[in-house]
A and B are shown apart, each in its own frame.
Chain A
Amino acid sequence: MNIRGLGFTTLLICSVILPAMATQQLCSTASPQNPKAESVYSEIGKAPEKARAKRNPLEKDPDAIAAGRILFEQRCAECHGHNAEGGKKGPGLRAPEIQNAEPGAIFWILTNGVVRKGMPVWAKLPEPQRWQLVSFLKSLGATPAKTETLLSGPRQPQPRDLSLPHH
């Protein structure tokens, strides 16, 4: 290898990889207000009947939500926001489209991704971990807000702080 080789290397990085990074970022904006978010939500409706009918085997597991929360922070928060409120790349997961969806449909989306719209396939997580994520996502629904309303009267819903104490 010589100077020519190193020059070629630099050229390759500049001409291919960096523009690929930039293009990917410039093209990916799926905030909750963005129309792209709607099209991502619509993907959940494409889950087959058989997938929708699947029950969450960890529904009654007391640790599933806490474990799912850690998994969410590690894998999902970067795109969907730390409070699942939606981010630059991924739509909010507190939306009714998600909260009203069957657990099986959410599991199906996690397993298959929405590859053409930027959502990666998460089948590399073992099945129980995907169900733990489903448990956590469903826990973001209306139940805690109702509890808050009962405790403190009607008010604007606030995103819950998902941060966990570090052990």
Chain B
Amino acid sequence: MSEAVYVPVPSPTATFEEHDAVLRVTSPQDGALELRVDEGFVFARYLSREPQHWISVSPASISAFFAQNSPVGTFLRRQGVSLLQQLLVDCSSLPGDTTVSQV
């Protein structure tokens, strides 16, 4: 399975826009980022970086959105994120200690 990306929790100055099933987060540090949930799994893409393809977000990263009570966590939950399922899939299909991206 392709490596999951760690997306930092947006800073308090970030702005959030919802477009249908996509959340666009814009912050001065990281530029624009989009997040979406497909089948309970979370994907992200940076609009300011190439290539702009969707890549899965690590469970540790998703946990951090919730832990810091970020609006991203609320958005993912309402879109049907299935974090525990994603954790099981990731830790079952990636080898050894690299199972889940570390914080």
Partners in one complex: no
**Using a CB–CB distance below 8 Å, which chain A residues touch chain B?**
none
